[in-house]
Structure formats: C-alpha cells, structure tokens
C-alpha cells in the first residue's frame, strides 16, 4: 500500500481528494497545523509558513511515494501570503521530492496570471515545479463545485440561485466557464498519483456554460420556484468587489471577478487529453445534478447565506446603539428609572455607563473580528446577565408595553444561530 502526503487536506478540495485516495487503496497522511488541538491519527504536524527549505520536509516525507499539493488561499490574510503558501513552501517540498524520487501532483487553477496574485503565484510555482527533475503532474481545474458543500465563490453562486422569488444575476450573466465537480477533480487527482505523463492538464466539463444557465440549473435542483432573475447592475457588483477587496472579506475578490469576466474555459482539446491521460470522465453540470436529489438542508444552506451577514450586522447595530444610548442618557433619567428598586443602591448611573462601554466594545469586536464566535459567546453571556441582573433588580422592565427587557429573550436563540453561522465559508 502506497502512502500519499496530502498538503491542504483539511480544505474544501482536499477533503474530497483524501476520500478519493482512500477509495483507491492509498494510505493518506495529511499535513496539518496543530492550532492548539491534538492531531488525528492520519495527520502529521506541519506549517507551510515555516517549511520553506527542503530539509524541513524530511519527517513529513518518511515512507511517502506520492505528494498531492492541494494547499491554497484565495486572498492574503494575516501571516498567510501567496508567496509562502503557493511558491516557497511547495517549491521546497518539490525539491525534497526530486531528491527522493517522489511523484508530485499539483492542484493549480485555470486562469490568466494577469487576473491577480492567486493565479499568478499558482502558475509561477507550476513552472518552477516542471523545471525540476521530478515526476510532476499539474492539474488546472476551472470553477470547482460540489453537491455536498461549497466554498467561497461557489457558495455565493448557489445563494444567488436560491434567492427568494427570483435569482440574482450580475449583469446579464453571459460569462462562460467549464465547471468541474469536486468529486471528479478528486478522482482525477487520485488517478494522477499513478498515471499520466508529466505536464500540465486543464480540467473542466465538456461544454462551456454561461453563468445564467448554470444558476438556473442550480435553482431547479434546489426546487425553488421562479425562472426569472433580478439583474444586479455591474457598477454595484464592482463596488461590492472593491469593498470586499478593501476589507479582506467576502467570497469575491478582484481575482475571482477578473477570472469570471475573462471567461474560465479550457483550451481546445484539453478535456479529451486529460481523460485519455487519467481515464476519469468529467461530468457536465446536468449529469452531476441529476445524480442526487437536493434535500431540505441544501436549501437551508443556500438561503441562509445572505441572512447570516444580515443577522450579524443587525446585532452589531443593536449593540452599538445600546452603547450609545447608555452613554448619552442623562444621569437623572437613570436615577429616576432605578428609584425604588434594588438597583437604586447599586450606583445605577455607573452601572449603566459600564454596560454601555461593554456593549460598544462587543459591537465593534463583532464588526471587525475575523473569527467572531468568541465575541458571540460573550454577547450571549451579557444578555443572560442583563436578563438576570436588571430583571431581578428592576422587574418593571419586563412589563414595558413595547417589550422592554423581555425582547432580550429572543436575542438568546438569535445569538445561538449567529454562533453556528459564523463557521460558514
């Protein structure tokens, strides 16, 4: 049984490759950062940001006969950058493979280097890899999707297709691409571990499909009524892309948008060439969608996509407004409200000001924190504290004719839902 080192095995595409490799009888070893948790039995510790010399890969490559590199980032964030993740670390790995006679399968991306740093760095490494004396296969897929999940731009496309009443469409949706489902890409990658001549292979379905047709097929698969669409003016789309690029958030950055507008299609004859090399057919979208019915959970995931940020920013606005009101309400009004209650002797003005500062801090934190789950937990705890503290100290707040304190009860499940949705991709 051959052992494969899979780099990027925790990612969207990497997970499918891991399953495909095991199905073909490979033993899989996944390079993984510990990130404060114990590694699984099939994982080996490693961090691309620190493995930039061939010698850094010695332990990870023990007993390995094939390497599959599926690591990649769509945008630079924090310490993660294209140069280290897409070039330096993989190049060091490839050099170590060349010295040991290990086959190298690279998961790259179809596109033009001028579209942005993601594609440019991927293609630059592809060239460096093929310049080494190593048995290397480079796979360049078009847009990758799956019935069993989505990531980044494909999550956005599915949500646009599932929009209530009518699907959302940027412009007239005439841009074409040749999507490939993640399962087919994984099967090709697993086959490439054993066969296929050295070189670059472009992967995608047989026929290019326009975005509006792709969206319509997903809408029918999700069993959502309405074939018409709301066309989003291109200036608004470009503004969203610009804002997402500026903030470093969102599923579509300038690179993804440039790839879509340019068209993400294979060179003539590439689809047949890849099938001849690896023996794996790449199915059309219709064939993939007809292979399995959609379930209620698929519609939930698609339609919650736009609700998640709406919920998050509503909570941000509520917390910030609560903080502003708490800081600007006159002290005499606070004293009057607390008069005759248990809070009257608990320095109500200072208490209100402190709660306001806490609300402002949590509101700002939820607005800017890249991983908001800890903030949501603190918000949940603060709501419980407000319910118990102000409810016991000033029970009249529960009987406010406009809801008053009792509305906080509804905030508890809302924050719980936000905590779940914070893990979306």
Give the model confidence (pLDDT) of 165-216 as tens digits: 888 888 888 889 999 999 999 999 999 999 999 999 999 999 999 999 999 9
pLDDT per residue over 305-319, tens digit each? 888 889 999 999 999
> 403 falls in which pLDDT band (50, 70, 90)?
low
What are the residue ranges of helices labelled H in 369-406? 373-393
Least confident span in 150-164, 346-360, 387-401: 387-401
Determine the pLDDT at residue 295. 92
Residue 222, both tokens: 């999700």
Contact yes or no for 183/213 (Cβ under 8 A):
no
Residue 104 — left, alpha, or beta (φ > 0 → left; ψ -120 to 50 → alpha)? Answer: beta
pLDDT at residue 27 greater than cutoff 90: yes
Determine the pLDDT at residue 407. 82
Q: Which of 74-78, 323-327, 333-337 ranks highest by mean pLDDT?
A: 323-327
Q: How much is the pTM?
A: 0.86
User: Which residue in this structure is represented by tokens 């979208």?
Assistant: 285
Determine the pLDDT at residue 110. 93
Determine the pLDDT at residue 402. 61
> 41 falls in which pLDDT band (50, 70, 90)?
confident
Determine the pLDDT at residue 425. 62
Which letter, b or e, does each residue of 348-360 get, where b requires 16 or more Cβ atoms within 10 Å of its Cβ? beebbbebbebbb
Mean pLDDT of the chain, nearest integer: 88
CB under 8 Å, gap of 24 or more: what pairs does 188-191 form? 188/139, 188/274, 188/278, 188/280, 188/282, 189/17, 189/20, 189/21, 189/68, 189/70, 189/105, 189/107, 189/139, 190/17, 190/20, 190/21, 190/23, 190/24, 190/26, 191/24, 191/278, 191/279, 191/280
Stretch 342-350: mean pLDDT: 77
């Amino acid at each position: 049984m051959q052992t494969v080192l899979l780099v990027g095995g925790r990612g969207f595409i990497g997970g499918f490759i891991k399953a495909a490799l095991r199905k073909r009888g490979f033993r899989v070893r996944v390079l993984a950062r510990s990130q404060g948790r114990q590694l699984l039995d099939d994982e080996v510790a490693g961090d691309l940001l620190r493995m930039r010399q061939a010698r850094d890969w010695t332990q990870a490559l023990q007993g390995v006969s094939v390497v599959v590199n599926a690591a990649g980032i769509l945008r630079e964030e924090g310490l993660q950058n294209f140069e280290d993740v897409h070039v330096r670390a993989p190049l060091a790995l490839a050099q170590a493979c060349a010295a040991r006679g290990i086959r190298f399968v690279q998961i790259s991306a179809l596109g033009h280097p001028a579209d942005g740093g993601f594609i440019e760095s991927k293609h630059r490494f592809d060239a460096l890899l093929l310049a080494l004396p190593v048995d290397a296969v480079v796979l360049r897929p078009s847009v990758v999707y799956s019935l069993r999940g989505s990531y980044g731009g494909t999550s956005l496309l599915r949500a646009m297709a599932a929009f209530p009443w009518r699907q959302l469409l940027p412009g007239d949706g005439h841009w074409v691409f040749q999507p490939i489902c993640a399962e087919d890409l994984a099967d090709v990658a697993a086959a490439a571990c054993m066969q296929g001549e050295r070189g670059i292979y472009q992967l995608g379905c047989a026929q290019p499909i326009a975005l509006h047709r792709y969206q319509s097929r997903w809408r029918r698969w999700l069993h959502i009524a309405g074939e018409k669409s709301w066309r989003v003016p291109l200036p608004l789309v470009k503004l969203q892309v610009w804002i997402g690029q500026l903030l470093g958030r969102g599923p579509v950055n300038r690179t993804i948008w440039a790839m879509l507008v340019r068209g993400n299609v294979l060179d003539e004859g590439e689809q047949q060439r890849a099938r001849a090399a690896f023996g794996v057919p790449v199915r059309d979208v219709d064939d993939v969608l007809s292979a399995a019915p959609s379930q209620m959970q698929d519609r939930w995931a698609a339609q919650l996509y736009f609700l998640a940020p709406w919920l998050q920013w509503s909570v941000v606005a509520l917390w910030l407004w609560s903080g502003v009101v708490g800081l600007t309400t006159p002290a005499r009004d606070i004293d009057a409200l607390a008069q005759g209650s248990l809070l009257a002797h608990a320095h109500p003005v200072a208490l209100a000001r402190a709660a306001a500062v806490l609300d402002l801090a949590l509101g700002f934190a939820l607005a800017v924190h890249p991983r908001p789950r800890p903030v949501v937990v603190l918000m949940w705890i603060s709501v419980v504290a407000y319910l118990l503290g102000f409810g016991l100290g000033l029970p009249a707040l529960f009987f406010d004719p406009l809801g008053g304190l009792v509305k906080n009860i509804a905030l508890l499940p809302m924050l719980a839902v936000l905590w779940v949705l914070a893990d979306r991709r």
